[in-house]
Amino acid sequence: MTELNGQCMCGAVSVTATPAKNAIGACHCDMCRRWTSSALMTFQAEPGYAALGPVKTYTSSDWAERAFCEVCGSALWYRMTAPGPMQGQTQMAAGLFENAGGSKLSLELFIDKKPEGYAFAGDRKQITEAEMMAMYAPSEEGDNQ
């Protein structure tokens, strides 16, 4: 995939990232909707992305952090921090890049949490909150499934 260059709304943060695949996901979970006032649209970034400027991070859960521009508040990325196979995986905010890097919306997460007031056109894989929890929540023994 081609390396993409983007920036936050005010231009204080510049970002360079390479999508892992030509696909965008939309997350409708409570935290993403509160953070963006809509769905968080992202693509998985290959390791080696870079962000220059006043980046701040917020630990939003026991397993992840969110990054934003300190000046304008633009969402930058969601990164898995919990130990395990997904640690370090980063979902880059697609809106930072011109035409979202030309990727296609292929996945909606927490589809049962999506407000009734909007919907995306076209077909894509849709996953409910229960399905997400079954895939990623810690098991009763305390390790990640």
> Which pLDDT tens digit goes with each residue over 2-15?
999 999 999 999 99
For the cut 50, the answer to whether the pLDDT of residue 17 exceeds it is: yes
User: What contacts 1, CB < 8 A, 6 or more positions away?
Assistant: 18, 19, 20, 21, 22, 46
Instruction: Report CA Rg, the chain.
Output: 15
**pLDDT for residue 144:** 39
Helix or strand holding residue 40 (H, E): strand 40-45
63 within 8 A of 144, measured Cβ to Cβ? no
101 within 8 A of 86, measured Cβ to Cβ? no
For the cut 80, the answer to whether the pLDDT of residue 105 exceeds it is: yes
Give the predicted TM-score (pTM) of the model. 0.87
